[in-house]
Structures are given as structure tokens and as C-alpha cells.
């Protein structure tokens, strides 16, 4: 599970990046707080979690008839993604982890 401020993250993504750079990166989608990340290599992984939110809207192209699409921004601090402090030691077999994160 991925919890943000005590609530399941509506949507987002999670990535597992090898700390030693010797294996592959893996990850998956977050939906209603739940995630599955198949094919994560065994070892210590840096974990990046992203939970976007709609911040506005913009036109697809510069034309008055063009449709508007939502724009997104990240809800989580960089310490959970771009400058992640999160680590997870992946063991052989099934691993489970609930991430309790804060927007502050």
C-alpha cells in the first residue's frame, strides 16, 4: 500500500531502482493505494514514489477550438521521488511493504 497523509494514494507510480546500479529498474502503477511491481531484482533498491494531482488545464494546441486537457503537478516532496530517501531491501520471493508518506 501507499498511504499519503493517512489516506490511500488515489493514483501514481512506484519505481525500484538498484542502489548499486547492477540490476534493472522495475515498478508499477498505484491505484487506490495498492501497487504491484513485478520483476523487481533482489537487493537494496532506491524507491521513487510519485502521486500527481490536477493543477489546472491547458489547450492541446493554439487554436480557440482546441480541447482543454488537465495539467498535473506532484503532491509529494522530492525526498520521495526526485531526491528519494526511500530504500527497500528486496528479498527472494514475495515482498510486501506499506509506505506511509506525508505531503509535508
- Could you report the per-residue pLDDT of 33-46, keeping only the tens digit for each? 999 999 999 999 99
User: What total of structural domains would you count in the chain?
Assistant: 1
| pTM of the entire predicted model | 0.85
CA–CA distance, 90 with 2 (Å, rounded to integer): 17
**Are the beta carbons of 12 and 2 closer than 8 angstroms?**
yes
- pLDDT score at 21: 87
CA–CA distance, 2 with 61 (Å, rounded to integer): 35
Residue 79 structural domain: 2-101
Q: Tell me the β-bridge partners of 70.
A: 57
Which burial class, exposed, middle or buried, applies to 68 when counting CB atoms under 10 A from its CB (0-12, 13-18, 19+)?
exposed
| pLDDT (tens digit per residue) in 19-73 | 998 999 999 999 999 999 999 999 999 999 999 998 899 988 888 888 999 898 9
- pLDDT score at 54: 86
Res 86 pLDDT > 90: yes
CA–CA distance, 89 with 18 (Å, rounded to integer): 10
Amino acid at each position: 500500500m501507499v498511504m499519503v497523509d493517512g489516506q490511500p494514494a488515489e493514483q501514481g507510480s512506484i519505481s525500484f531502482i538498484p542502489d548499486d546500479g547492477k540490476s534493472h529498474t522495475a515498478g508499477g502503477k498505484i491505484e487506490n493505494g495498492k501497487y504491484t511491481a513485478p520483476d523487481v531484482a533482489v537487493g537494496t533498491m532506491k524507491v521513487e514514489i510519485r502521486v500527481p494531482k490536477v493543477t489546472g488545464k491547458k489547450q492541446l494546441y493554439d487554436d480557440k477550438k482546441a480541447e482543454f486537457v488537465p495539467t498535473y503537478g506532484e503532491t509529494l516532496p522530492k525526498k520521495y521521488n526526485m531526491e528519494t530517501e526511500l530504500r527497500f531491501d528486496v528479498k527472494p520471493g514475495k515482498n510486501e511493504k506499506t509506505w506511509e508518506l506525508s505531503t509535508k
